[in-house]
Structure 1
Amino acid sequence: MLFRARGILARNLKTNSNKYVLLFLSFVAGIIAGAFTVNGLNPGQSTELENYFFGFLHLINYQNIDSVELFKITMLENLKLIAVLWGLGVTIIGIPFIYIVIGIKGFISGFSSGFIIEAAGLRGILFVIAAMLPKELIQVPCLVALGVSGINFSLNILRSRSHKLPFKSSLKSEFFTYCLITALFFCLITAGALLEAYVSPMLVKMLAPLFENFK
């Protein structure tokens, strides 16, 4: 079964390689834009964000994070994002917006990590690796794959319209598959949320003393 899954994945990557590359480039472009935006902050904005960041680290050094509550918040945000991607996939005009959503996700990641590294240097890099990277390594590939699935389903709708085929006869099975794929990646993204809620806080708490009296 494992080999079969690998074969399906390999065929999917080969068939949709262009879409994966374009979505990945959208994400990277978002990261670059977010990182450059950090340089555009005025001193007042930078100071306010730095105070928030270092205040958070000071707080986490002396208090425990409610992992259950953090998991709920993270899952709610993930559910919203997945719902947006799913919804765009079932609309004819959703394809360009899928690229935009992935790009915005990259922008948020790039801005967050870029600011932290700008504010804390090497220690900021360690923070990004501990707090952000584990989740991103799971979430980003899943979101890109969801984007590809949504693009494919939108294209199927367009083909059905162009051939004037009724929805039930031409897209029923594809719609079921699309929903199943979305549910599968939602489960995988849940694993990333568990890391963010239960593992990353422990790593951040270990790093927090490094930031004492940093400013």
Structure 2
Amino acid sequence: MIRRINDIVAKHIQGNLITYFFVILFFMTGISSGAFMSKALTDFQNKELIVYLKNFFSIVDSKAINNLAILKQSLLNNFQTGIIIWILGVTVIGIPLILLIIGLRGFIIGFTVGFFVKQMGFKGVIFSLVSILPQNILIVPCTVFIGVLGISFSLMLIKNKTRKNTRYSIVNQFFLYSTIIAMIHIIIVVGCLIEAYISPFFIKYISTYM
């Protein structure tokens, strides 16, 4: 069973190498842009974010973390992204918007990590590893995968638009497309659980040293 899944995934990647290249390129460009933007902040913006960061550490250190609230927010954010990409995938104009969303996700990560490292140096690296990396080990690949599926489905619609008698095939492909994305969201849920219940534990522990 696992071998069969591996074969399916390998064939999918091989058949969509160019799409994966562009999606990952946009994601990495977003990370680079976010990291650069964190260094381009004005002194006022830096001071505002530093104050916010200090308040965050003091709150984390003194109060119990509301894991359920974090889980709800994480599920909302990631499900919104997945659903928007799914919707854009069934349009013929969704490809650039999907790439933009992927780039924006990269930008947020790059800006956050860049700011932590800029303000806290090596401590910022450690904090990024415990607060951002654990959940994104699952969430980022899933988001990239969903982005590739959305673009692939959109390209399929464009190709079939000039063909006749493809309605039945498109309906089948749509159900397959939707089912796979729904299954990927199960993995995203695991990432959200990590963000809500595991990362906060490390953040609370490490905040005492910040």
Calculate the TM-score normalised by the size of structure 2.
0.97
Aligned counterpart, 1:204: 203
> Corresponding residue for 1:162?
162
User: Within the alignment, does 1:192 sit opposite 2:191 as a pair?
Assistant: yes
Measured after TM superposition, the shift of residue 46 of structure 1 is 0.4
**Structure 1 gap ranges (5+):** none
1:88 corresponding residue in structure 2 = 88
Instruction: Tell me, in whole angstroms, the C-alpha distance in 2 between the residues paired with 1:67 and 1:163.
Output: 51
C-alpha contact 2:68 2:196 (8 A) present in aligned 1: yes
Work out the CA distance in 1 between the residues paired with 2:158 and 2:28: 28
Residue equivalent to 1:116: 116
- Which residue identity does 2:146 align to in structure 1? L
Q: How many residues in Structure 1 have an aligned counterpart in Structure 2? A: 210
Contact map agreement 1:160 1:170 (CA 8 A) in 2:
no
Distance 1:89 1:41 in 2: 35
Partner deviation per Cα, 1:163-184 (whole Å, 9 max, x = no partner): 14453x2301100011011101
CA distance in 1 between counterparts of 2:159 and 2:14 reads: 21
What residue is the counterpart of 1:77 in the other structure? 77
- What secondary structure is seen at the aligned counterpart in 2 of 1:147? helix
Moved over 4 A (4+): none
Secondary structure of 1:41's counterpart equals coil
Looking at structure 2, the residues matched to 24 and 165 of structure 1 have their Cα atoms a distance apart, in angstroms, of 34
| In structure 1, C-alpha distance between the alignment counterparts of 2:64 and 2:164, rounded to whole Å | 59
1:36 corresponds to which residue? 36
- Structure 2: runs of 5 or more not aligned: none
Structure 2 match to 1:151: 151
Match of 2:122, as an amino acid? L
Q: Secondary structure at the match of 1:11?
A: helix
Question: For 1:48-87, what per-residue CA distance to the aligned partner results, in whole angstroms no more than 9, with x for missing partners?
Answer: 0011012101110111111011101110111111111111
State the partner residue of 1:67. Answer: 67
For the aligned residue pairs, the C-alpha RMSD in angstroms reads 1.0
Q: Report SS of the residue matched to 1:64.
A: coil
**Contact 2:39–2:114 (Cα < 8 Å) also in 1:** no
The structural deviation recorded for 1:23 is 0.6
Q: Which deviations, in whole Å up to 9, do the C-alpha atoms of 1:107-153 show, x marking residues without a partner?
A: 01100110111111111111100000011111111011101111111
Asked if structure 1 preserves the Cα contact closer than 8 Å seen for 2:75 and 2:192, the reply is yes
Q: What residue in structure 2 maps to residue 105 of structure 1?
A: 105
Q: Could you say which residue in structure 2 is the equivalent of 1:139? A: 139
Q: CA separation in 1, counterparts of 2:165 and 2:145?
A: 27
